[in-house]
Structure 1
């Protein structure tokens, strides 16, 4: 258990999280379209290739502006942090495949959200990836149940239903 007291999120934090959800939805849609025309592997390569080009450009601009900051950041990441690219590639392939099924965009994202919450609660419980471990509450279980129920409603009863 962590001795730090939990902080309440600021409105800007809430807005940033909400906006990232919108951007994630847009990215999943774009990746699904690429997957529809070129397959899941093509979609992943396209997404990560353009991301790599963008990252190289940003790092290049930062390098000319503040070389010390770029070097300091490079030396601080734990080794497991580099596994994000592997999970990102798998995520793009899985979502670009799932979106092009009867689940569609809403069903894919709803189940994806349920999976994210379940995994994040496991990470909180066991202190994975350097997070402080915390005791899960009935409220956490209720959130998972409600998100999963909402996902199933979207999939089976929303917009014509996938079944």
Structure 2
């Protein structure tokens, strides 16, 4: 019988990733609506300001760990996560309000995420462990790319 931790990883973590993807689509839609009534930069500022307040509330509500040792500080580049986030919000707000629409923006964004993830795994960028590609990972790219092409260009 699998342990609870293995079961958690197999069931809950993919469900959380799926939820994050749905929330990403909702965020892109909301920000595109803000950008339609103002501009992409204003939408990005508002989204990140509200996101910061939400994160502060969640952080304050979480219990503090009772450890005596201080963890090592993160690498300096880890503090730059907001930069790509701001660009994603701004660029997605522009592309959603274009002929690409929501599905095209998300499809092309997914291609970018998968390709960047594969490169990050392969070369060990950002402290990730290096991994060699397996044949099924390369084969998995074909239906992803095909499905995205159908969404963007039609059948």
Instruction: Give the TM interval when normalised to the shorter protein.
Output: 0.7 to 0.9
Which residues of 2 match residues 41-52 of structure 1 at below 5 A? Answer: 41-52=41-52
Does structure 2 conserve the Cα–Cα contact (< 8 Å) formed by 1:111 and 1:148? no
For 1:108, the equivalent position in structure 2 comes to 105
* TM-score for both structures, normalised by structure 1: 0.81
Q: 2:64 aligns with which of 47, 66, 83?
A: 66
Structure 2 unaligned segments of length 5 or more: list them: 1-5
C-alpha distance in 2, partners of 1:150/1:41?
A: 31
Q: Which has the higher contact order (CA 8 A, sep 6+)?
A: 1
- Describe the SS at the equivalent of 1:154: helix
Provide Cα deviations, 1:102-160, integer angstroms capped at 9, x if missing partner: 111011001100110000000000011111101112322222232121111001117xx
* TM-score for both structures, normalised by structure 2: 0.84
Does structure 2 conserve the Cα–Cα contact (< 8 Å) formed by 1:35 and 1:97? yes
Question: What is the CA-CA distance between 1:67 and the residue it aligns to?
Answer: 7.9
For 1:13, the equivalent position in structure 2 comes to 13
- Describe the SS at the equivalent of 2:51: helix
Compute the RMSD of aligned alpha carbons.
Answer: 2.3
C-alpha distance in 2, partners of 1:139/1:59?
A: 39
C-alpha distance in 2, partners of 1:114/1:29?
A: 19
